[in-house]
Amino acid sequence: MSDTSTGKATVTTSALTLRNLVNGTYVEGAAGTDVSTNPADSADVVAVVPRMSAAEARSAVDAAAAALPAWRDTPSVLRGKHLFAVAALIRERADQFRDTICREMGKTTAEATIEVERSAELVEFFAGVGRLPHGDVVPDRRPGVVTTTRHEPIGVVLAITPWNDPLMVPVRKAAPALIRGNTVVLKPSPDTPAVALLLAQVMQDAGLPAGTFNTVTGDVAEIGDTLVRDPRIAGITFTGSTATGRHLGQAIAGTGTRLQTEMGGKNAAVIMADADVTRALEVLLPSIFGQTGQRCTAVSRLLVHRDRYDEVVEQIVARAGAVAVGPAADAATTMGPVVNQRQLDKVLTMIGTAREQGAVIAAGGERLIDGAAARGCFVRPTVVTGVSADMRIWTDEVFGPVVAVMPFDDLDEAIGIANETTYGLASGIFTNDLAAAEAFVRGMETGQVVVNLAPSGWDVHQAFGGFKESGSAFKEHGLDGLAFYTRVKTVAVSATP
């Protein structure tokens, strides 16, 4: 993202000009405009978006607060009908969403297509929740008294979303919030704002009442505190870095604002001696290098039984070399760029630090600089060997196409090494031994555990979220994903006046 006033980017007629949705009206930004560019080609400006002032950000909260009573009182079946209309429009505009995700975030066409489909499915899932029962009849010791629990909306929800899934994460947060009767203010990542503003158009065209869904874009230094510290914000749902999640927790400490976080990960996969190595790597490769490693559940640590270590390294190095790196526009591409120069610098710095600390870069590790690739943020798929547990490449999240490989001697050792991290999002094991698989499932301190599969996270009806510094206690997806957006009221009624 860059400021159009600096001359760093040239806006062409192919760029989208987008506005924020506030109280059912599209608004400009009083603080100017920003542009988002294609990470595969810095000369390609994807969109021009408003930079809102603190006062404009406050107006979005004003709109959400004003719309809350009517939306809260709208029957959930009717709220669900609105969401079904949203899902239908996402599908209708799938090509636009797909192409914008490819250009703005750098995903391949296949990856962006999957994101759009999963986003529509997620909205449909929560739309259907509008017809499900909620609340319970609870026994009461007093004769003639009927006691029930009711699930009510918490109020205005601030959704702060990342750049790596620019459509999926906003709907992951907005859909459950809306079906439970909350109103939403969405603050998307400044790196991928266009997709979120296209989603706002869908919300508007689907007929959601004015103020029910609002968007805010701009400089976080200008509008961040205005949004986060507004006492009318009942809950903040955040996906992003652990550092930012911690900052949010500190900012609302002592207030009544709820916080849901989905943060970093340093996910490990274990390959046992009895595993089918070829199949395991076929399953794992999309989790390692897919989405250019910019996925919360990406496998960045690979623990391999010492008896199979050399075989695994040989195969994964060969597979890394066969990955076709390039822009989404190229049909042959199987891995796109990282999202921007800042992220590219981080990835390359982490690789360089690994080398300085004594690790071996067995494959990749360098930026692509030939021809048109020089205008993009491309890095080759990277395999790091000779690592130790104290190296940054093993302990710190890279969020790029980098995997570190380490041998182990027995399952207990593998579980111990895998758990020796501040994160706890996802983990997996490949084995034919049922007892070993069960021991791994019981022993891992991660919110998602898989056996003979790539780490999950896309299934909209399955609860998703991590332990430790990977996230808060509130899950996303599935019926468990509704808990954050509701408060429980217990009601006792006597038939006798």
| Number of Cα atoms under 13 Å in the Cβ half of residue 187 | 28
Rounded distance between C-alpha atoms, residue 458 and residue 297, angstroms: 10
Cβ atoms 239, 481 nearer than 8 A: no
Q: Phi and psi (nearest 5°) for 178? A: -70, -40
Q: How many CB atoms lie within 10 A of CB 147?
A: 15
Tokens representing residue 407 in the block:
């041998």
Tokens representing residue 344 in the block:
């590219």
Rounded distance between C-alpha atoms, residue 346 and residue 343, angstroms: 5
Q: How far is CA 86 from the centre of its chain?
A: 20
Rounded distance between C-alpha atoms, residue 35 and residue 21, angstroms: 18
Q: Which residues are catalytic?
A: 262, 296
Helix 277-289 / helix 309-322 crossing angle, nearest 10 deg: 50
Residue 369: CB partners within 8 Å, gap ≥ 6?
none
Q: Which of 385, 367, 365 is nearest to 377 (CA)?
A: 367
Edge to edge, the sheet with strand 2-3 lists 2-3, 33-38, 41-50, 16-17
Tokens representing residue 57 in the block:
């950000």
Q: Is 296 left (phi over 0), alpha (psi -120 to 50) or beta?
A: alpha
Strand pairing class (20-22; 25-27): antiparallel
Rounded distance between C-alpha atoms, residue 335 and residue 285, angstroms: 11
Residue 111: CB partners within 8 Å, gap ≥ 6?
290, 291, 336
Tokens 């903040």, located at residue = 236
Cβ atoms 240, 296 nearer than 8 A: no
Q: Which of 408, 432, 426, 402 is nearest to 323 (CA)?
A: 402
